[in-house]
Structure 1
Amino acid sequence: MIKPLTLIISMCFSAISTAHTTLIHNVNGYTPTLDGKIERFSTLVFKDGKVVKYGDKDTVKQFPQAEAIDGKGKTLLPGLIDAHGHIIGLGNNLQRLDLRGIPSAEAAGKKLQAYAKNNPDKWLVGRGWDQTLWDNKVFPTAADLDKFVSDRPVVLTRVDGHAIWVNSKAMLLAGISKSTQSPEGGEIIQVAGKPSGIFIDKAENLVLKHIPKQSIEQKQRALFAASKHLLSLGITSAHDAGIDFDTWRLYQDLAEQNKLPFRIYAMLSASSPKLDDMLDAGVIKKQNDFLSIRSVKIYADGALGSRGAALIKDYKDRKNHKGLMLENKPALEALMSKTFKHGYSAHTHAIGDRANRIVLDSYENQFKTIGGKLLRNRIEHAQIVHPDDIPRFKQLDIIPSMQPVHATSDMHMAEKRLSDDQLEGAYAWQTFLKQGSKVASGSDFPVELANPFDGLYSAVTRMSKQQAPENGWRNDEKLSREQALTSFTLDAAYAAFQEYKLGSLEKGKWADFILIDRDYFTVPESEIFKIGVEQTWIAGEKRFEKK
């Protein structure tokens, strides 16, 4: 039976009037906007997970039926986006041996020994050591681990993920001997003509392939451990820089069940044996924007701390050594070609100036050959770039995806590794912005701590947490507070094709926001990293509240 028109109108009006609207008022709100401004507000209204409007105290009167929440004067910002992290790696780190900040090989061994007593796993795995923090600054050896644990294999990943330190048992089980050759794109560090226990970049897999594969259940536990941590830090979306096939399946399964705890923009790992299978499945984009998979993570070189970053000239502290290219130019271009043909973006890891130049050349050649320039391709890290190559990012529409904390973590080590000339285009955030590039900021967790306020502090000050050096390291590249916030919100969203859905609190966007315990824009610069998150909301739902 056809319903009378008046009844239909009445039913529609009833549905509209009873739709759940929420507003949070009495807040000190800030949001970047698509026209490049930072807007202030005291009231935020949202319905069905999306922003209706922001405004002043009079806005409250416009929504008399809305559920009203008193923000108690707290500062409100858009949810922060980490444009480069490793989600499962972070979750694993939270559950495994953590060696971040350990002061010596001896201290690492003692912590390993204690960990081993309470951990029955056949392989003991950890991460976080950094020999540049130690007095002698030299790579440790297998013998340094053997005296603490010799009956089980031990694999400890360097903080940057580009080197592993293993004991003799691990080398024995992996069949490593003095006759084992370093693979192309990797290096087995030798001592007295024998493998020392340090494996750089592609040499890592000589040992890693023998570690039992992580189960889907273990990956899921790692994901939820990471999400709990990230939400507590105000991160509502993370770009996962290189996922394998099992993680690809896990994310999709959880997305279908609406069980992803925060938003994920995932990059397929170019090194995955099942890359073709994942690409053939097409671009994956969920309507609620909790999962987007439309890019491939490609590795060009190693890292600066392990002298694997590929340089144009020799390392200052290792003559006749220019680092490692993990893929040569033809291989890079083949991966880019495959990526573009599937409608995917290429996000390429490049740290050294030689790697950045080769990657830019590869992008340019592929754009001329098959296209792909409009795919918002990125260079991940873009740490040491020759000044002549910086303008090419803008010319080729390549997004520099950078991690501000790397500059303040690396500054002392970088000055030992590199000459002043080599550092001229290092961590050049402001130079990129001035030429019109968008800088997408992240942390590279778990290489660095995931707290985005550490990154905002580093971006604004270029100083350590002890406020050194005075006025900041290479301070011409500092960002303003407005620029830094935009790089962790709207520009990070742009780098994922999401600037019309995420990154600000403009009308129609998802209501992803955080309440923090002090005003980011007025707190002394020296205290930015001390800002704490009180609440984290995604799509109008509270996902974290500080107890």
Structure 2
Amino acid sequence: MKNKIFIFIFSISLLSCVKQEVDLIVLNSNTYTVNEFFDIAEAFAVKDGKFVAIGTNDEIQNRFKAKDTINAKEQAIVPGFIDAHCHFFRMGLQQQKVSLEGTKSYQEVLDRLVAFQKEKNVQFITGRGWDQNDWEIKEFPTKEKLDALFPKIPVAIGRVDGHALLVNQAAIDLSGITKDTKVSGGEIILKNGEITGVLIDAAMNFIKIPEPSKQEAIQGLLDAQKICFSYGLTTVDDAGLDRNTIELIEELHQQNSLKMRIYAMVSGDNQEQIDYYINKGIIKTDRLNVRSFKVYGDGALGSRGAAMRKPYSDRENHFGALIYPPERYQEIAKQIIASDYQMNTHAIGDSTNTWLLKIYKDVLKDEEDRRWRIEHAQIISSKDFQDFNNIMPSVQPTHATSDMYWAQERIGRDRMRGAYAYRNLLNRYGKIALGTDFPVEQVNPFLTFFSATFRRDLEGYPEYGFQMENKLSREETLKGMTIWAAFSNFEEKEKGSIEVGKFADFIILDQDIMKIYGNEIPKTKVVATYLNGEKVY
């Protein structure tokens, strides 16, 4: 009998020593879990694409054995970054067009167009990225030099924010517009009674730029994925996709050629699309989430398209404009509130924010967890901050450090008090989703982190930071780029932190952004990006 008891106890002891087999173990790390307590862990284990344990080196090694083990050598590990507002597909397509980012003069824009056309010899020249605020002469360009260089080839090149388009006469002739064409929600800019070539917001729709082929669209998505993985992005919120693109993303996900997790905001510019997706209902897989509409409230501050309550300080009697008549936003909101979908509205100017917040409040009533978002929330009147108690702000910190050189001249000192006010917004809602708006800004999320926490440019200007009363802490910023961004997408239970049961999306960094000197943050590189525990970069 004693022998039997001994054998039984010995058998249990052996079983307790058997280690569970997993796919991946990471040891000797400095892992910021971004869980409820913001715990820092040494090690974790991954199986079937999810985290199964987080703890110390001894705890993980005693419990698990793995096909693959990573010695992180004390490097920092954080959850995969989530860009809460970007244009993933558009950025991918841009890789096949002329890039005008960083141009310091109109002449440099022209030089790049000439070089591009010499190499590509296309039938319609398109591109994006110019910003007259970065030039010595901070005025919109005109089309005369474009007409001289390209008398027969249409040219349409977008401003960096996507809210202004410079076109030549060949493109105008194709569009059929004249100086007398009426525009609602935009402007055809004239000089001495003639078309200058610059079109603002809704006026851009008159220019019929050729649609990309399916192969070009596929290549654009794959190019964008490669770039994003290299920066540690594992989920992107693509703000404004049409049905064809969403269905192409689904197709590529099924083929496993596209791995990026995408929170797809359906473009709300098309009533047919709104009807289609509301009738279809939410589409949710591990990689694709279609449950929101992106609506444009106004244009951009840089092109003076943002709708303001009082005239612009640097343009007499100019207020900007809403994209649609006011009643149209009410119609859209009422239709979306009757569904399970989320409404995410682009709002830059204080007038637009006031109007959209009122509409949101009216239709949301007592609904507490719809997570409707104001995208950008860039200029807020003081009395409107209180309305963010049930409406989530989604902002892009690099907009503050890109605009800070000229924003006050555009809107005046008083209105600047409510501009780029991320601390005020966080204090009202309790969470804030952070993104980049790429390709308007750079893809690099470490610039987001630096702009949010230190509010300086890459040259260290201004020395003491821009409106530092509205900076975020490092912990708040990391949450805004991970768990709070996941929350804004209704995905906080599956991603955004390194916790048991969540997708094993994480990145290894070459330096610890939570500890290094501020000026070193933008220099941070991603050593490796993991999606579902699979190394994708």
Instruction: Say yes or no: TM over 0.5.
Output: yes
Quick one: which amino acid aligns to residue 221 of structure 2?
L
Measured in 2, the distance between the counterparts of 1:481 and 1:84 equals 20
**Contact 1:245–1:272, Cα closer than 8 Å, also in 2:** no
TM (norm. structure 2) is: 0.94
**Contact 2:166–2:198, Cα closer than 8 Å, also in 1:** yes
**Contact 1:105–1:144, Cα closer than 8 Å, also in 2:** no
Superposed counterparts of 1:21-32, under 5 Å: 21-32=23-34
Aligned residues: 519
Quick one: which amino acid aligns to residue 142 of structure 1?
K
Q: 2:522 aligns with which of 510, 515, 529?
A: 529
Shift of 1:160: 0.1
Shift of 1:150: 2.1
Say yes or no: does 1:488 pair with 2:481: yes
| 1:447-488 superposed Cα distances (whole Å, 9 cap, x missing partner) | 000100000000011111111111111110011111111100
**Contact 2:53–2:60, Cα closer than 8 Å, also in 1:** no
Measured in 2, the distance between the counterparts of 1:265 and 1:78 equals 17
Q: 2:422 aligns with which of 424, 429, 436?
A: 429
**Contact 2:374–2:392, Cα closer than 8 Å, also in 1:** yes
2:373 maps to which residue?
A: 378
**Contact 1:224–1:261, Cα closer than 8 Å, also in 2:** no
For residue 33 of structure 2, give the secondary structure of its aligned residue in structure 1: strand
Shift of 1:361: 0.7
Superposed counterparts of 1:45-194, under 5 Å: 45-67=45-67, 68-181=69-182, 183-194=183-194
Q: 2:352 aligns with which of 355, 375, 383?
A: 355
For residue 463 of structure 2, give the secondary structure of its aligned residue in structure 1: coil
Quick one: which amino acid aligns to residue 34 of structure 2?
P
1:7 maps to which residue?
A: none
Measured in 1, the distance between the counterparts of 2:392 and 2:30 equals 32
Tell which deviates more after alignment, 166-175 or 450-459. 166-175
Q: Identify if the C-alpha distance between structure 1 residues 254 and 274 changes in structure 2 by more than 3 Å, giving closer, same or farther.
A: farther
Measured in 2, the distance between the counterparts of 1:328 and 1:466 equals 42
Q: Identify if the C-alpha distance between structure 1 residues 343 and 293 changes in structure 2 by more than 3 Å, giving closer, same or farther.
A: same
**Contact 2:21–2:66, Cα closer than 8 Å, also in 1:** no
Shift of 1:180: 2.1
Say yes or no: does 1:505 pair with 2:498: yes
Q: Identify if the C-alpha distance between structure 1 residues 62 and 17 changes in structure 2 by more than 3 Å, giving closer, same or farther.
A: closer
**Contact 1:400–1:437, Cα closer than 8 Å, also in 2:** no
**Contact 2:21–2:65, Cα closer than 8 Å, also in 1:** no
| 1:43-62 superposed Cα distances (whole Å, 9 cap, x missing partner) | 12111111112212212332
Shift of 1:337: 1.5
Measured in 2, the distance between the counterparts of 1:64 and 1:483 equals 33
For residue 270 of structure 2, give the secondary structure of its aligned residue in structure 1: coil
Measured in 2, the distance between the counterparts of 1:216 and 1:366 equals 39
Quick one: which amino acid aligns to residue 149 of structure 1?
F
Shift of 1:272: 2.8
For residue 299 of structure 2, give the secondary structure of its aligned residue in structure 1: coil
Shift of 1:17: 7.2
1:223 maps to which residue?
A: 221
Shift of 1:374: 2.5
| 1:251-303 superposed Cα distances (whole Å, 9 cap, x missing partner) | 222233344321100000011353122332211001xx211000000111110
Shift of 1:373: 5.0
**Contact 2:54–2:60, Cα closer than 8 Å, also in 1:** no
Measured in 2, the distance between the counterparts of 1:388 and 1:144 equals 47
**Contact 1:142–1:165, Cα closer than 8 Å, also in 2:** yes
Quick one: which amino acid aligns to residue 160 of structure 2?
V
For residue 518 of structure 1, give the secondary structure of its aligned residue in structure 2: coil
Measured in 2, the distance between the counterparts of 1:185 and 1:420 equals 27
Shift of 1:390: 0.7
Shift of 1:132: 0.7
Q: Identify if the C-alpha distance between structure 1 residues 107 and 362 changes in structure 2 by more than 3 Å, giving closer, same or farther.
A: same
Measured in 2, the distance between the counterparts of 1:200 and 1:62 equals 63
Quick one: which amino acid aligns to residue 180 of structure 1?
T
**Contact 1:296–1:345, Cα closer than 8 Å, also in 2:** yes
Shift of 1:135: 1.1
**Contact 2:24–2:45, Cα closer than 8 Å, also in 1:** yes
2:258 maps to which residue?
A: 260
Say yes or no: does 1:472 pair with 2:462: no
Measured in 1, the distance between the counterparts of 2:233 and 2:28 equals 23
Say yes or no: does 1:325 pair with 2:327: no
**Contact 1:260–1:290, Cα closer than 8 Å, also in 2:** no
Measured in 2, the distance between the counterparts of 1:393 and 1:18 equals 47
Q: 2:335 aligns with which of 310, 320, 338?
A: 338
Measured in 2, the distance between the counterparts of 1:303 and 1:372 equals 30
Shift of 1:365: 1.6
For residue 318 of structure 1, give the secondary structure of its aligned residue in structure 2: coil
Measured in 2, the distance between the counterparts of 1:147 and 1:491 equals 50
Shift of 1:436: 3.9
Shift of 1:19: 5.1
**Contact 2:20–2:63, Cα closer than 8 Å, also in 1:** no
Q: Identify if the C-alpha distance between structure 1 residues 361 and 103 changes in structure 2 by more than 3 Å, giving closer, same or farther.
A: same
* Root-mean-square deviation over aligned CA pairs: 1.6
**Contact 1:393–1:437, Cα closer than 8 Å, also in 2:** no
**Contact 1:112–1:148, Cα closer than 8 Å, also in 2:** no
**Alignment gaps of 5+ in structure 1:** 1-12
Say yes or no: does 1:439 pair with 2:424: no
Quick one: which amino acid aligns to residue 314 of structure 1?
P
Quick one: which amino acid aligns to residue 212 of structure 2?
Q
Superposed counterparts of 1:456-467, under 5 Å: 456-467=449-460
**Alignment gaps of 5+ in structure 2:** 1-14
Tell which deviates more after alignment, 106-115 or 245-254. 245-254
TM (norm. structure 1) is: 0.92
**Contact 2:19–2:62, Cα closer than 8 Å, also in 1:** no
For residue 498 of structure 1, give the secondary structure of its aligned residue in structure 2: coil
Shift of 1:238: 0.4
Shift of 1:64: 4.3
Measured in 2, the distance between the counterparts of 1:261 and 1:56 equals 30
Say yes or no: does 1:283 pair with 2:282: yes
For residue 156 of structure 2, give the secondary structure of its aligned residue in structure 1: strand
Shift of 1:540: 0.7
Q: Identify if the C-alpha distance between structure 1 residues 122 and 253 changes in structure 2 by more than 3 Å, giving closer, same or farther.
A: same
Measured in 2, the distance between the counterparts of 1:63 and 1:373 equals 42
Quick one: which amino acid aligns to residue 309 of structure 1?
A
Measured in 2, the distance between the counterparts of 1:148 and 1:522 equals 52
Shift of 1:114: 0.8
Shift of 1:443: 0.1
Measured in 2, the distance between the counterparts of 1:283 and 1:194 equals 48
Quick one: which amino acid aligns to residue 89 of structure 2?
I
Q: Identify if the C-alpha distance between structure 1 residues 64 and 500 changes in structure 2 by more than 3 Å, giving closer, same or farther.
A: closer
Q: Identify if the C-alpha distance between structure 1 residues 332 and 184 changes in structure 2 by more than 3 Å, giving closer, same or farther.
A: same
Measured in 1, the distance between the counterparts of 2:211 and 2:307 equals 30
Shift of 1:372: 5.5
Measured in 2, the distance between the counterparts of 1:346 and 1:373 equals 14
**Contact 1:329–1:362, Cα closer than 8 Å, also in 2:** no
Q: Identify if the C-alpha distance between structure 1 residues 137 and 179 changes in structure 2 by more than 3 Å, giving closer, same or farther.
A: same
